[in-house]
Amino acid sequence: MSPLAINPPSPADSTMSFASSSRDFDPRTRVFSDEELKPQPMVKKSRKQNFQFVPEGLKDEKYWARRRKNNMAAKRSRDARRMKENQIALRAGFLEKENLGLRQEMDRLKKENMALRDRLSKFTEI
């Protein structure tokens, strides 16, 4: 049985990988839920069983199936974390660039506003 048959990828995984791998990624078109952007809470780990010292004679098919399942779960977890980190980094970079543009626009508008006030004050003084 293939690992994908045991744990097929979810549709969310494919959409996240598409969004994070797209070259023209635009966070304005990709809606991030609050849950996606929120840091994940620390989850108390279950007591770890020590599989390291399982004698060779006890490593039956059930053991290897459990190991394959665990390895696939660990890979999915790492991939999901990496995708989320990439999304957050892309969004942060985009927002920093947009913020810089907005600051420049605001400075330009402030200067224009001051120039217009000066021109207006010349007409009101008369």
Q: Alpha-carbon dihedral of residues 9, 13, 19, 22, nearest 10 degrees?
A: -40
Task: Let me know if residue 70 belongs to a domain.
Answer: yes
- DSSP H helices in the chain: 3-6, 11-21, 34-37, 61-124
- Report pLDDT for 43: 74
Number of independent structural domains in the chain:
1
Which residue, among 87, 106, 109, has the nearest Cα to 98 in the 3D structure? 106
Task: Let me know if residue 100 belongs to a domain.
Answer: yes
Task: Let me know if residue 25 belongs to a domain.
Answer: yes
Task: Let me know if residue 48 belongs to a domain.
Answer: no
Residue pair 83/16 in contact (Cβ under 8 Å)? The answer is yes
Task: Let me know if residue 68 belongs to a domain.
Answer: yes
Task: Let me know if residue 10 belongs to a domain.
Answer: yes
Is a pLDDT exceeding 80 seen at residue 105? yes
Structural domain boundaries enclosing 22: 3-36+55-124
Give residue-wise pLDDT tens across range 12-22. Answer: 444 444 444 44
- Residue 113's pLDDT band (cuts 50, 70, 90): very high
Task: Let me know if residue 62 belongs to a domain.
Answer: yes
Task: Let me know if residue 22 belongs to a domain.
Answer: yes
- Report pLDDT for 22: 47
Q: What is the pTM of this model?
A: 0.48
